[in-house]
């Protein structure tokens, strides 16, 4: 049994297709009786309107496209769910599309937007290929697509000219807070697990690194030094495996040359702790370790992770607000929102051993 069409349902009910359409869309110009009759028949025969046909007619649907480029993460998924709920409050649906690594072109976005009459698009996480650097003209070409866009959890990556809105945690501030706290605890030799090339200045890890450097430069007088461990796997920057490999290599080559390690994120911290433990170093006694994100694992790992909690609820709420505003008042200038994260101290950090 395949789907029944509006015409067939109209015949069954003995009305015109236009009447069925009005009943299904809950328009006011239908008499309650016919409406109920039609709805009942629709339920009985399993009629559901064809979205393609609907999309073709409607000038713009109350629908937003969420685009995740490359690997997904628990964080982005939670954000998706929060955002979905927020937008639903305003009658908007959110449709998730994954774009495989290697195909983050403007055309891909154009194709997605063209599938249905999306009112806007939210990028969950970074959009753009690593090898195309800052993609100077990505932003402009995205703008040409003609629907409002907001970058969620990253800055607008489109060449630094900020043509689109963005909402994210204050990555620089988080990196600063963690580093500052470690310095206050008395650490003088710190390390940071880099996430890629030094040229990727707009990456989330690079912003956190920026905060790390700022805190260190403020503490210059104290004799504090800050090392940057180069990433073992550029392509998998935020994984446990990358954290493990990065730290293992460093320890094998140089030994433990720091008393505190600021990691790019919680997953990297998990890998880093494992590498330290395997090399016989105790966390936090021999080396304090911090994460970023406050994933579920941060609470249940032993030692539990000192980290910066992403304000996911606020990020989702702000993203929804910015998106809806852009849809309703397209003339408004893009805004760059950065929300402060919360430092959570747990077992993985403490003062250096005497």
Residues lying near its own copies in the complex (CB under 8 A) are found at 1-3, 46, 48-53, 55-56, 72, 74, 77, 80-81, 84, 95-98, 100, 107, 110-111, 113-117, 144-146, 239-241, 244, 267, 270-271, 273-274, 277, 296-297, 299-302, 304
Beta carbons of 49 and 7 less than 8 angstroms apart:
no
Using CB under 7 A, pick the residue from 12, 26, 31, 323 that binds DNA: 31
- Can you tell me the distance from the alpha carbon of 267 to that of 301, in angstroms, rounded to the nearest whole number? 11
Residue 21 lies near DNA (rule: CB under 7 A)? yes
- Can you tell me the distance from the alpha carbon of 237 to that of 228, in angstroms, rounded to the nearest whole number? 14
Stretch that binds DNA, among 42-50, 69-77, 124-132, 339-347 (CB under 7 A): 42-50
Toward its own copies, which CB reaches closer, 299 or 342? 299
- Can you tell me the distance from the alpha carbon of 329 to that of 206, in angstroms, rounded to the nearest whole number? 33
Instruction: Report in angstroms how near the CB of residue 184 gets to its own copies at its nearest.
Output: 27
Using CB under 7 A, pick the residue from 17, 95, 96, 343 that binds DNA: 17
Using CB under 7 A, pick the residue from 30, 87, 283, 324 that binds DNA: 30
Q: Which two tokens stand for residue 158?
A: 């489109």
Continuous H helices in 116-154: 138-143
338 interacts with, out of DNA, its own copies, none, CB within 5 to 8 A per kind: none
Beta carbons of 296 and 122 less than 8 angstroms apart:
no
Local structure of residue 306 (DSSP, 8 states): B
Rounded to 5°, angle at Cα 65 from 295 and 168: 40
Instruction: Report in angstroms how near the CB of residue 44 gets to its own copies at its nearest.
Output: 12
107 interacts with, out of its own copies, DNA, none, CB within 5 to 8 A per kind: its own copies
Rounded to 5°, angle at Cα 54 from 49 and 57: 155
Toward DNA, which CB reaches closer, 17 or 279? 17
Instruction: Report in angstroms how near the CB of residue 320 gets to DNA at its nearest.
Output: 24
Stretch that binds DNA, among 32-40, 141-149, 171-179, 297-305 (CB under 7 A): 32-40
Q: What is the Rg, in whole angstroms, of the alpha carbon atoms belonging to the chain?
A: 25
Toward its own copies, which CB reaches closer, 108 or 325? 108
Going by C-beta distance under 8 Å and a sequence separation of 6 or more, which residues neighbour residue 224? 183, 187, 188, 189, 190, 216
Beta carbons of 118 and 102 less than 8 angstroms apart:
no
> Is it true that the peptide bond before 303 is cis, omega within 30 degrees of 0?
yes
Instruction: Report in angstroms how near the CB of residue 58 gets to DNA at its nearest.
Output: 5
Query: Strand, helix or coil at 4?
Result: coil
Binding residues for DNA, rule CB under 7 A, total 30
Residue 146 lies near DNA (rule: CB under 7 A)? no
Residue 28 lies near DNA (rule: CB under 7 A)? yes
Instruction: Report in angstroms how near the CB of residue 170 gets to its own copies at its nearest.
Output: 27
Rounded to 5°, angle at Cα 43 from 60 and 17: 55
Roughly how many angstroms between the first and final C-alpha of the chain, as a whole number?
76
Toward DNA, which CB reaches closer, 59 or 302? 59
Residue 143 lies near DNA (rule: CB under 7 A)? no
Only one residue has tokens 């998730």, namely 96
Q: Which two tokens stand for residue 329?
A: 């008042």
Using CB under 7 A, pick the residue from 11, 18, 85, 257 that binds DNA: 18
- Can you tell me the distance from the alpha carbon of 101 to that of 70, in angstroms, rounded to the nearest whole number? 4
Which parts of 56-115 interact with DNA (CB under 7 A)?
56-58
22 interacts with, out of DNA, its own copies, none, CB within 5 to 8 A per kind: DNA
Name the residues that contact DNA, by CB under 7 A. Answer: 3, 5-7, 14-19, 21-22, 24-25, 28-35, 47, 49-50, 53-54, 56-58
């Amino acid at each position: 049994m395949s789907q029944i069409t509006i015409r067939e349902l109209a015949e069954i009910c003995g009305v015109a297709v236009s009447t069925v359409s009005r009943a299904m869309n809950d328009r006011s110009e239908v008499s309650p009786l016919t409406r109920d009759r039609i709805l009942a028949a629709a339920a009985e025969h399993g009629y559901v309107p064809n979205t393609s046909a609907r999309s073709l007619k409607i000038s713009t649907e109350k629908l937003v496209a969420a685009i995740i480029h490359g690997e997904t993460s628990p964080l982005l998924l939670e954000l998706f769910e929060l955002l979905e709920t927020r937008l639903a409050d305003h009658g908007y649906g959110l449709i998730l599309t994954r774009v495989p690594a290697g195909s983050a072109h403007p055309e891909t976005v154009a194709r997605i937007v063209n599938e249905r009459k999306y009112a806007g698009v939210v990028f969950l996480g970074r959009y753009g290929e690593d090898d195309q650097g800052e993609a100077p003209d990505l932003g402009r070409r995205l703008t040409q697509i003609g629907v409002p866009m907001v970058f969620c959890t990253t800055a607008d990556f489109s060449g630094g000219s900020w043509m689109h809105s963005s909402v994210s945690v204050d990555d620089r501030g988080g990196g600063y807070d963690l580093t500052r706290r470690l310095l206050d605890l008395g650490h003088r030799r710190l390390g940071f697990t880099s996430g890629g090339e030094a040229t990727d200045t707009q990456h989330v890890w690079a912003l956190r690194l920026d905060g790390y450097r700022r805190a260190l430069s403020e503490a210059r007088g104290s004799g504090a030094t800050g090392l940057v461990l180069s990433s073992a796997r550029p392509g998998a920057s935020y994984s446990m495996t990358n954290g493990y490999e990065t730290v293992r290599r460093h320890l094998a080559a140089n030994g433990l040359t720091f008393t505190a390690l600021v990691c790019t994120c919680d997953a990297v911290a998990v890998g880093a702790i494992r590498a330290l433990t395997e090399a016989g170093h105790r966390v936090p006694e021999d080396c304090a370790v911090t994460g970023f994100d406050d994933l579920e694992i941060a609470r249940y790992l032993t030692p539990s992770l000192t980290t910066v909690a992403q304000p996911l609820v606020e990020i989702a709420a702000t993203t929804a607000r910015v998106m809806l505003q852009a849809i309703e008042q397209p003339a408004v200038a893009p805004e760059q929102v950065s929300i402060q994260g919360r430092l959570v101290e747990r077992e993985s950090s403490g003062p250096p051993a005497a």
